Amino acid sequence: MPRPRAARLAAFDVAGVVALVAVAAAWCVVLSTAYGGENRCDMSYMYPSFFPVTNVALASPAHALYRYRDARARDDDVDDRARASGDASACVVINVFVPGTGGGYGQARSAASGTLESEGCRVEHYALDFAEELSAYNGMLLARQAKSVARALDGLRTLERARTERRVVAGWSVVGHSAGGLAAMEAAASALGSELGLTIVNLATPSAWNPVSLTLTQRAREAGVRRRWRTSDARRSVALVSVVGGERDRQVSSSPMGFVDDWVEEGLGVSASASTASRVGVSADHRCAAWCKQLIVAISRGFAEAFPRSKVLTAHQRARAFRDALGDKDAARAPSPTFGVPARAYEATQERTPSALAGVVANVLAPRSVMSAFAFALIAHAASPSILRERVVESVIASLAVYVASGWIANRAFDVRGDVRRALTTCMVLAHVPSLIAWAHHVLRTLPTYGFHALVPPFGAMDAVALCFAAASTRFGAIARDQSSGASRARQVAWCLAAGAAAPGNVGLIHIAGAVVHCAETLRLPRASLPKKVA
């Protein structure tokens, strides 16, 4: 008969294989045309022109600001004469479009053309260009883009004050696509956001958490943004609208990922999905969210209702206007099961896949057991975003699946009885690969034009320290589990950190877990002395 421990490990391996097969099958469905169906988004037509705005200083020489102009737009001279005569129709809304990862300023043309015939105040559109930076993967790049968003808004406000004839500015807004919405939210977490009374509209933005927040720098940036939102007036004065694309979006299909209600006071947040919003009714893939006509028409209607010519609305009224423009969530429009499996199961698979790195770290730090599995799931659940904590059963089951699946990976890829250091090093390096790719992409695009002075900032100091730990660890041998009581306690702390890192958006914490173990083993903490027996 097999030993009880061997039988338990065999059961964990079977469960891990089942979980991995289920995840692989889910991803095959998600990446197939069967999930979300065909693209039903209509296209719109415009006559775009972009003019550089050179007198606004941004955070990087590689960034640029453009003003959008459509050939069908009214002439500015006509607007000036209307303002001089006191016509209320001369009011204007100044909007800045922020592209996402790998995106460009040209994507602003759809949203800009959609508001051309607005019944509300005329919307004047500007667009930022970030040289197609892969900002979602690199915290320093994203933070620098946020600074450019803030400087663009502040610079446009300065230009507005310097005009010889003052215009009636009815409001300020930002439309962000994908990671551009994250940069907009970071820019708004300041006095500027509350002073301008911003309205932020995020399209296909992972507003609740970044699914590829894999480094410590990225994790620290997101925690800092949330802290500033809690302590600033932006929480009480910014209207925040978030629309995810739905099932056809392979990056941000999850409705919980686009949840913004906990960023602002009640009534200021609008969280919607393009496929279930009654006035949109179609699912848009990640790029299509920037031009899908059904979605753009609803957003344009929101601008008209949030910025009417007759009066200036409060932040709560603007949020309500966008909510009405998008329409109520219609249960009849809920995505139908694909191959008999509810859409939420596929969304949870997309949300939890990056957690496998943290699961591997936890499994190499402590032996697998039923108690460890449930402790892992409970810690991961407690560290999850608030929208996921409301779904207790789903959250715990998803974390258990991560634990058993990553346990099988750890058991096959590493000798978990001894070679802990190699496993930690591998996971830390893998977590940094997307950020390093984003940095290399930035270097290749920036070096020929702007020289070496623009290359270093995107590489964060915390990332450098984490990689140094990983590189230095290769000099030492394997870590024995019973080396010292001090090291054992350090591994327990690291295990809890790894469990917390398994929560969506927290994967960057695995670098702290690795540093804790590396330090404890390198310092060779002495074994705790035991009291002598008294005869």
Confidence of residue 128 (pLDDT cuts 50, 70, 90): very high
Q: Is the pLDDT of residue 528 over 50?
A: no
List, in order, residues 6 or more apart from 178 with CB less than 8 Å away.
99, 100, 101, 103, 136, 203, 204, 205, 206, 251, 252, 286, 289
Residues 258-266, mean pLDDT to the nearest whole number: 92
Confidence of residue 252 (pLDDT cuts 50, 70, 90): confident
CB 368 within 8 Å of CB 15: no
* Model confidence pLDDT, tens digit, residues 312-356: 999 999 999 999 999 977 655 677 788 888 889 999 999 999 999
Burial grade of 143 (CB within 10 A; 0-12, 13-18, 19 or more)? buried
Across 62-66, 102-106, 501-505, 526-530, least confident range: 526-530
> Given this model, what pLDDT does residue 444 score?
83
Query: Which two three-digit tokens encode residue 129?
Result: 């260009």
> Given this model, what pLDDT does residue 518 score?
77
> Given this model, what pLDDT does residue 203 score?
96
> Given this model, what pLDDT does residue 459 score?
63
Q: Which residues pair with 96 in a beta bridge?
A: 126, 174
> Given this model, what pLDDT does residue 529 score?
45
* Model confidence pLDDT, tens digit, residues 1-50: 455 656 666 777 888 889 999 999 999 999 988 888 888 898 888 888 89
**Tokens 């009405």, residue located:** 324
> Given this model, what pLDDT does residue 14 score?
86
* Model confidence pLDDT, tens digit, residues 480-516: 444 555 567 888 899 999 999 999 999 999 988 888 8
Burial grade of 344 (CB within 10 A; 0-12, 13-18, 19 or more)? middle
Q: Is the pLDDT of residue 207 over 60?
A: yes
Taken in order of first residue, the domains within the chain and their CATH numbers are 4-32+342-523 (no CATH), 48-332 (3.40.50.1820)
Across 206-215, 270-279, 387-396, 479-488, least confident range: 479-488
Beta-strand relationship, 48-52 and 64-70: antiparallel
Confidence of residue 457 (pLDDT cuts 50, 70, 90): low
> Given this model, what pLDDT does residue 477 score?
46
Residues 226-252, mean pLDDT to the nearest whole number: 91
> Given this model, what pLDDT does residue 471 score?
67
Give all strands of the β-sheet with 48-52 in edge-to-edge order: 48-52, 64-70, 122-129, 92-98, 169-177, 199-203, 239-244, 269-273
Q: Is the pLDDT of residue 296 over 70?
A: yes
